[in-house]
Amino acid sequence: MIAIVLGVVGLIWWPVFANARDGRSPDFYRLRSMSRAQEVYLQDHDMRLQRGDLWMDALYPYVKTTTTFVDSQTGLGEHEGPAFNDRKSGEYGYSFFQPLGLKALSEIEFPDRQIMVFQSSDLRWNASGPLDSMAFRRGGVAARALTAFGSSRIVEDGTFSKSAGVIDAVPKPFRKEKE
């Protein structure tokens, strides 16, 4: 009987400990949460993206915490977010690529390579704009981005079109991460 109880407890806790050791950054998990929220948002809104200047407001009901939108390298620390989910205070670190606002997913030519959300030097809530505000962290050579198709990518400067926001067909990987 004790063995069964311990087995069940082990099965419950195994994923928690496995994820803690897999070496992925907190930003990977935050982008994955944004991606899942985006998927549900698209289903709820006839496969149409949200307004660029209100993108965090649109996804917030699906993630229920502002910490999801905090880039761990903005100086807030790995697990800290704006106090009490106050969206007006704090530094976030992600921006929405403004030209995609209100577009239908079917209107995007390369959704698997189209940058939609990216690490940004604009730290405001609902930050959006051109890719000129992309913040290249990782020694100034790469930034983390979320494509319109929902995949988390690490992009290097020069491997995408800044005007169109499309990543090159075969980007040089900065560091391969587990999905």
Domain residue ranges of the chain, discontinuous segments joined by +: 26-156
Write the pLDDT tens digit of every residue in 56-95. Answer: 999 999 998 888 888 887 755 444 444 445 566 678 889 9
Contacts of residue 57, Cβ cutoff 8 Å, sequence gap at least 6: 87, 126
β partners of residue 97: 129
pLDDT, residue 78, reads 40
pLDDT in tens, 120-158: 988 889 999 998 888 887 666 778 899 998 888 888 888
> How sure is the predictor about 169, in pLDDT bands with cuts at 50, 70 and 90?
low
Question: What does the mean pLDDT of the chain come to?
Answer: 79
> Would you list the DSSP string of 98-167?
GGGTT-BGGG-S-TTTBEEEEEBS--STT-EE-GGGB--BTTTTEEEEEETTS-EEEEETTSB-TTT-BB
